[in-house]
Amino acid sequence: MHDHAPVPGGVRGAGNRRLLAISLGITSVVFVVQVVGAVLSGSLALLADAAHMFTDVAALIVALIASTVAARPANDRRTFGYQRAEVFGALINGIILIGLSLWVAFEAITRLLNPGEAEVAGGLMLAVAAIGLIANAIAMWLLSAAQRTSINVRGAYLEVLGDLLGSVAVIIAAVIILVTGWLPADAIASLLIAAMIVPRAIGLLREVASVLSEATPAGMQVREIREHILGTTGVVGVHDVHVWQLTRGAPVFSAHVEVDAGCYASGRADGILTELQGCLASHFDVEHSTFQLEPAGHVEHDAHA
């Protein structure tokens, strides 16, 4: 006997797509402003920030497409639906971030080794960076709630966060140039932007690898789940326990549960099933759970248990 609860779809619904679309519009406009400002001011840091903003635009486009694909209903070939599309979108975002950081670092080191080759207009650099800071703050605010439940939106959120920090670095460098005239501050700010990108990219790729390898979601204790199941009246054993996630915020659980023979005779088996699913949903936030109820002493265990 087995059953399961429906997969929640809210975290991948129209609300997320709307937020992503608004953020995309904001970042696209600011990207153009930053490119023009970087060309006019001669600032590498501002150009690096513009390049990061470009990856924000690309990441948001990928996230928007992935979110739309993920909303497609399940079918006979994709029985869990298309929620994993979000994970692949996050994978692309992580790769973009790594590539960007390498490019920025190379350009910054080149300028530091040849400090006299470029002039920087600190005033224009400061004004454009301030616009970027405000725009990124708005985009982060829009995505802050949705990123807690969607790995895809999380990737876009991290990119916007990185660009906000990059704008702060550019502002500081611009102020230094305006006050002291020390132009290497521009290249150093570029290196800081690259240094901020790498850890977040690695963290995002690590989370993607965890999902794709079907590892137990972070913070979920399988031992505690077993204890809750064994604490249910009528349950005498549990094995073949598996916990994984389709994407962030969508954990999936399955287990074989041995019940006392009297539960079948008394008709309590259905009640046990309902109680177990309620336990997983209320205590562990697992909305999709599958249980196979078996008579006590059943020995057909999974080879990977």
Going along the chain from its start, the domains and CATH numbers come out as: 10-212 (1.20.1510.10), 222-295 (3.30.70.1350)
Q: Which of 169, 194, 180 is nearest to 43 (CA)?
A: 169
pLDDT at 278: 87
Alpha carbon distance, N-terminus to C-terminus of the chain: 20
The torsion angles phi and psi of 264, rounded to 5 degrees, stand at -70, -45
pLDDT tens string, the chain, 305 residues long: the values are: 444 443 334 334 556 677 778 878 888 888 889 889 888 888 888 887 887 777 677 767 766 766 676 667 777 777 777 777 778 877 887 888 888 888 888 888 988 888 766 677 888 889 998 998 998 888 888 777 777 766 666 767 777 787 788 889 889 999 998 998 888 898 898 888 888 778 878 888 888 898 888 888 877 888 888 988 898 888 888 988 999 888 766 788 999 998 887 777 777 878 888 888 888 888 887 878 888 888 876 655 554 44
Output Rg (C-alpha) for the chain, integer angstroms: 25
For residue 58, the number of C-alpha atoms closer than 13 Å in the C-beta half-sphere is 15
On whether the CB atoms of residues 37 and 122 are closer than 8 A, the answer is: no
pLDDT at 89: 77
Name the maximum alpha-carbon separation found in the chain.
Answer: 88
Measured distance CA(98)–CA(199) in Å, rounded:
9
How far does CA 213 lie from the centroid of its chain? 16
